[in-house]
Amino acid sequence: MNKRYDGCLICTDMDGTLLTTDKVLSRENAEAIKFFQERGGLFTAATGRYWDFLDCYRDVFVPNTLVVSLNGCVISEYGTNRIVRYTEMDRACFDEAEYVFDSCPQLKTLLVNTTGGFVPVGRGELSKLYEIDPSPDNKVYKMTYMAEPFEELTKETRDFFVPFAKGRYNCERSWPGGMEYYPLDGGKHNAVMWLKEYTRSDKLICVGDYENDIGMLQCADIGVAVANALDCVRAAADITVCSNDENAIATLIARL
């Protein structure tokens, strides 16, 4: 079979990019991915979610290389979920939670992403942080502070995290109502560059729609924004394709 895409690696965000607004992976996108893979291309997800989120779509989409999850803090094998690369938070960051909540009255909940799953901690429940399984096998990958559901973070809250994280954490939003931070060597940009080297790919193409995708779009050989992406994401991309509700991935692969 023609290997026209040999050496090409596509890493795509899931929500708002590969998936429709209704969280559906369209038949057109699924067929295009299979077409791309059968002709030598490597196709995978780079998502802020846990690695097993892709299991929801296994009937229509199977990555043919490692999966980037938790905004680049974990890279794992699809199917076995064996973790190949990860970055880990120092649990001393738990001691900062009270200061963050006191500084940002808008924040209501902290989500701690660990190997064993996410742990929600309310602003009045900080003792729960120190009850999280301390075993060496249970890593802490990232922290996410959130406002009330469906409430967007104010500029004042967002601005707090700039000096707070500087020189210590990567800090960005994956959706309007939550601020995530994780180790400096985490992030989708570091993960996809590692994956490009790991797979010995010649060309890295990254696709996204939100703030946490900007880094990987900037470091890719071709950074692609979907039409529904934030203005700052489209500005960081090399090209823009149609929206996530219009089979953006199929359109991209056709252009390639």
Buried b (16+ CB within 10 A) or exposed e, 134-164: eeeeebbbbbbbbbeeeeebeeebbebbeeb
pLDDT at 55: 96
Domain identity same for 235 and 218: yes
- Domain end, chosen from 183, 208, 237, is at 183
Domain identity same for 27 and 102: no
**pTM of this prediction?**
0.96
What is the identity of the amino acid at 215? G
Q: Which domain holds residue 228?
A: 8-85+187-255
pLDDT at 1: 63
Domain identity same for 178 and 101: yes
pLDDT at 52: 95
CA dihedral 195, 199, 51, 33 (to 10 degrees): 110
Residues of the chain with pLDDT under 50: none
CA dihedral 230, 234, 235, 239 (to 10 degrees): 180
The answer as to whether 51 is a domain residue is: yes
CATH number, position 203: 3.40.50.1000
**Residue 177 — φ and ψ, nearest 5°?**
-100, 10
CATH number, position 105: 3.30.1240
Domain identity same for 121 and 38: no
Tally the domains of the chain: 2
pLDDT at 2: 77
